[in-house]
């Protein structure tokens, strides 16, 4: 319960703790991958500080390694991060009354994990003051943001010295499974998720990972059509 600022902050800190188990290997993996791709530490850290979005960072890095045109790199990375626009729309009713600088800070710290924690918490505490909701949201990132930067730095510093036996890449699928699985609460959600998986694999042959964009668009349409079908049946 958001009974006070301190209560909201404590709740945010506690709720974020499980995600710390994957943030560190995720960040280290990006640091290692960026170093192996030839990026100096300054550019690698700039990537993590400015973008702070693991999926988009890995996508851009892979496309740069494939010598994709810069326009493709930017458009694909933007498409990968378009989900942030939907996250923002979902949180707008709760944070719409916040000051401009608070919204700007929240936009910067909007990642999959902070949204996954904040949205259900805000829905449960709809009547809570905006300042309590902001305290919760920012508290979820008190540990995650610094650890993302630090783990990226250590990954970049260690580079190829990290042995393959460490298997840091487990963090990527685990992170997104933890985020997506709790949201599969209805048939449209399951249809959209299943369609995206099948099509992403089937269209993996399309250059520059553009198959992911096609799969995402078709999956969203499939989910929307399923929801409309259910409504008509009612």
Kindly report the pTM of this predicted structure.
0.76
Q: CA 164, CA 71: separation in Å to the nearest integer?
A: 33
User: What are the distances in angstroms from CA 203 to CA 68, 137, 213, 214, 216?
Assistant: 18, 37, 10, 8, 11
The residue behind tokens 């945010």 is 12
pLDDT of residue 137: 96
Q: CA 169, CA 167: separation in Å to the nearest integer?
A: 5
Asked if residue 87 lies in contact with residue 122, where contact means CB atoms within 8 angstroms, the answer is: no
Q: How many CA atoms lie within 13 A of 190 on its CB side?
A: 3
Q: CA 43, CA 89: separation in Å to the nearest integer?
A: 31
Asked if residue 125 lies in contact with residue 2, where contact means CB atoms within 8 angstroms, the answer is: yes
Please state whether 208 falls in left (phi above 0), alpha (psi between -120 and 50) or beta: left
Q: Which of 8-12, 71-75, 110-114 has the lowest mean pLDDT?
A: 71-75
Q: How confident is the model at residue 32 (pLDDT cuts 50, 70, 90)?
A: confident
pLDDT of residue 17: 92
The residue behind tokens 């949180």 is 91
């Amino acid at each position: 319960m958001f009974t006070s600022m301190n209560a909201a902050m404590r709740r945010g800190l506690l709720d974020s703790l499980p995600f710390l188990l994957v943030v560190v290997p995720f960040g280290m993996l990006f640091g290692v991958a960026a170093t192996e791709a030839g990026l100096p530490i300054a550019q690698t850290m700039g990537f993590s500080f400015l973008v702070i979005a693991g999926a988009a960072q890995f996508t851009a890095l892979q496309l740069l390694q494939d010598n994709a045109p810069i326009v493709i790199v930017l458009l694909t990375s933007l498409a990968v991060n378009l989900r942030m626009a939907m996250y923002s729309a979902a949180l707008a009713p709760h944070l719409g009354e916040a000051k401009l600088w608070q919204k700007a800070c929240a936009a910067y710290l909007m990642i999959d994990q902070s949204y996954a924690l904040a949205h259900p918490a805000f829905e449960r505490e709809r009547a809570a003051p905006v300042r309590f909701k902001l305290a919760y949201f920012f508290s979820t990132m008190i540990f995650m943001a610094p650890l993302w930067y630090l783990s990226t730095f250590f990954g970049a510093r260690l580079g190829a010295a990290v042995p393959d036996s460490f298997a840091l890449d487990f963090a990527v699928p685990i992170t997104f499974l933890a985020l997506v699985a709790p949201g599969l609460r209805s048939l449209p959600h399951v249809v959209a998720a299943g369609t995206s998986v099948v099509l992403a694999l089937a269209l993996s042959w399309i250059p520059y990972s553009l198959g992911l964009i096609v799969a995402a668009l078709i999956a969203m349409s499939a989910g929307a059509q399923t929801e409309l079908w259910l409504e008509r049946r009612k």
